[in-house]
A and B are shown apart, each in its own frame.
Chain A
């Protein structure tokens, strides 16, 4: 037996287990290991074949004008069909595996979250909040119940499922606490704005706070607010933050299109991480306008997303990146990635010379977890490497 250097997903047992993390049995860990490997196999061993099949037997027969022409032609190819069927099925297996873990211990998880959050002023829930249509109409990334449904009052099982299972989708690429995106943003900020000392930071669509926790840790004197529409993720998020010893984050249930509870210029930093693609054409200008309004002079807005579909991106790549939009319940993904985000930022009030652009890759504990910056496996749309589109409001 030969031993080459191991290049694959880390063992699930290296995942960071904060105090709110669900317990997993040997078999449940093994199931997550299998699914992380299955995703990795599909990305590294099958997906390159889809490209070969496209070049060899699909492309010669078509003259595509758009990525949609490419996708529709691919839908007729047997290898794309099988890769797609496997990728969809793997997501469903992942959701089932995670839900089994958290629902079987749901009463204990919910009780623990209740003890940690009851009466804590850092959790503000709004039972009258209307879930916006872009979240209510479909369960994003095939996650039953999305971020907002509750199986029972006080439920956190869906949020815990997100937390314990997202490891599977990127093979650990988001780091031990699924916070590689947040660490990446911190690194970018420390490198590009070393003297920036924000007093108040807002994370919109922040979910369970997985990406804002590293920001709160890096700026411990800042007041940090995580806004989301889902009560379960916020409840879990506060409990999780407390168990991780992070005390400067408030979790507020609200729609990022209307944050009128905060006055103009209230925040020095407004952040969104992989959020805009889960909204809509109607919502995005409102979200961007609110972000501009809430920003203090001298403040900075940062949106982190997968790269836009620029003209120089091959149509095949665009079509593959669209896969999650059509087949993994990310409906706005396709439209969002063709929009001119600079234009929308300027509509929201930023001048052209106030705009920011950059690239970041997940920052993880590289001793234990794979670094996607140095990873040549392209899992279109899922690689933990992103673009930044942002804006800086000039100091008054």
Chain B
């Protein structure tokens, strides 16, 4: 069914009027726009966490306890694994750039496709 008031498609609608770009490369400005949206969502998360910590304080868990929290060795390992996975996701492009260094003569899919198309 057609949803007339769908925020997913409507909230980010473009206003009438051509958009100005300011940076020398508009693609850099696009990346900046995405980065600032992510920064916004991090701030949203931080405010929520602050609320959680302050509520916990009223339930008897102080911020000092949170600050002084020592994970058990197993908990620390879990966290370490999470952090490694997180960084591997974020830094994927460098990993692939580095792997490419050792395979300098790789054909592109287009190259391969052209080769495969030849009779």
A interface residues (Cβ-Cβ under 8 A, vs B): 26-27, 29-31, 33-35, 37-38, 75, 80-82, 84-86, 88-90, 92-93, 95-97, 99-100, 103-104, 106-107, 137-139, 142-146, 151-152, 157, 326-327, 329
Contacts and interface: CB of A to CB of B under 8 A. Distances in A.
Contacts of B4: 151-152
Question: Which of B5, B19, B32 has most chain A Cβ within 10 Å?
Answer: B5
A145 B11 CA distance: 11
Given A100-B7, A151-B5, A35 B40 contact: yes
B40 A81 contact: no
B44 A93 contact: no
Interface of B: 4-7, 10-17, 19-24, 29, 32-33, 36-37, 39-40, 43-44, 47-48, 51
B80 to A, nearest CB: 28
30 contacts: A26-B48, A27-B44, A30-B47, A30-B48, A33-B47, A34-B39, A34-B40, A34-B47, A75-B22, A80-B22, A85-B21, A85-B33, A92-B33, A93-B36, A93-B37, A93-B40, A95-B15, A99-B7, A103-B5, A104-B5, A107-B5, A137-B16, A138-B16, A139-B15, A144-B13, A144-B16, A146-B16, A151-B5, A152-B4, A329-B15
A327 B20 contact: yes
Nearest to A149: B16
A327 B6 CA distance: 28
A90 B43 contact: no
A329 B17 contact: yes
Nearest to B40: A34
Contacts of B22: 75, 80-82, 84-85, 88, 327
Contact of B32 (A89, A103, A137, A326): A89
Contacts of A143: 15
Contacts of A89: 29, 32-33, 36
Interface of A is mostly: helix
Nearest to A29: B47
Contacts of B21: 85
A189 B13 CA distance: 41
Contacts of A37: 43
Nearest to A152: B4
B59 to A, nearest CB: 18
A103 B6 contact: yes
A142 B43 CA distance: 23
Given A27-B48, A139-B16, 17 more contacts: A27-B44, A34-B40, A34-B43, A34-B47, A85-B32, A88-B19, A89-B36, A99-B10, A99-B12, A103-B5, A103-B6, A103-B7, A138-B15, A139-B15, A146-B16, A151-B10, A329-B16
Contacts of A88: 19-20, 22
B5 A31 contact: no
Contacts of B39: 34
Question: Which of A34, A75, A100 has most chain B Cβ within 10 Å?
Answer: A34
Nearest to B46: A30
A85 B29 contact: yes
A96 B12 contact: yes
Given A26-B47, A30-B48, A33-B47, A96 B15 contact: no
Contact of B11 (A85, A100, A138): A100
Contacts of B33: 85, 89, 92
